[in-house]
Amino acid sequence: MSLPNTHHAPAEIAAALSGAKEIFFCGIGGIHMSALAEFCLCRGFRVHGSDRVESETTTRLRRHGARVFIGHDAAHITGADALIYTLALSPGNPEYAAAGRLGIPCISRADFLGYLMSDYPRRIGVAGSHGKSTVTALLAEIFHTAGRNPSVLCGAPMRPFDSSFLIGAGDDFIFEACEYRDSFLCFSPTIALLLNTDLDHVDYFKDKESICRSFAAFAALPGKDGALLYNADDEGARAAAAQTPAKTYAFSLSPGADFFPQEVTEQNGFFSFLPVTPAGALPRVTLCVPGRHNVYNALAAIGAATLSGLPGDVISKSVSLFHGAGRRMEYHGLFCGARLYDDYAHHPREIEAALDAARKMMGGNGRLFAVFQSHTYSRTAAFYREICAALRAADRVFVAPVYAARESDRRGMSPALLAEGIGARASAPGDLPAIARALSVELSPGDLLLVMGAGDVNRIFREFSEKPFTDG
Spatial contact of 297 and 141, defined as CB atoms under 8 Å apart = no
Where are the domain boundaries for CATH 3.40.1190.10 in the chain? 120-321
pLDDT per residue as tens digits for the range 303-315: 999 999 999 999 9
Residue-wise pLDDT for 145-177, tens only, equals 999 999 999 999 999 999 999 999 999 999 999
For residue 449, what is the enclosing H or E element? strand 448-452
What is the model's pTM?
Answer: 0.95
In this prediction, what percent of the chain has a pLDDT beyond 70? Answer: 98
pLDDT at position 180: 94
149 phi, psi to nearest 5 deg: 50, 60
Name the average pLDDT for the chain. 95
Q: What is the pLDDT of residues 70-102, one digit of tens each?
A: 999 999 999 999 999 998 888 899 999 999 999
CA distance 277 to 262: 10
Alpha-carbon gap, residue 162 to 169, rounded angstroms: 19
Q: Where in the chain is the domain with CATH 3.90.190.20?
A: 330-464
Instruction: Tell me which residue of 73, 76, 96 sits closest to 4, measured CA to CA.
Output: 96
Q: Where are the beta strands (DSSP E) in 62-128?
A: 67-70, 82-85, 106-108, 122-127
Q: What is the pLDDT of residues 382-410, one digit of tens each?
A: 999 999 999 999 999 999 999 998 788 77
* 182-186, 376-380, 430-434, 466-470: segment of lowest average pLDDT: 466-470
Position 1 confidence tier, pLDDT thresholds 50, 70, 90: low
Fold (CATH) for 120-321? UDP-N-acetylmuramoyl-L-alanine:D-glutamate ligase (3.40.1190)
Is the predicted pLDDT of residue 469 greater than 50, yes or no? no
Q: Where in the chain is the domain with CATH 3.40.50.720?
A: 10-114
What are the CA-CA distances from residue 380 to residues 203, 377, 411 (Å)?
11, 5, 9
CATH class of 330-464: alpha beta
Residue 135 pLDDT greater than 90, yes or no: yes
Is residue 470's pLDDT more than 80? no
DSSP for 253-288, written as a single string: SSBTBSBEEEEEEEETTEEEEEEEETTEEPPPEE-S
Domain 10-114: which topology? Rossmann fold (3.40.50)
The CA distances from residue 135 to 291, 298, 323, 357, in Å, are 14, 7, 12, 17
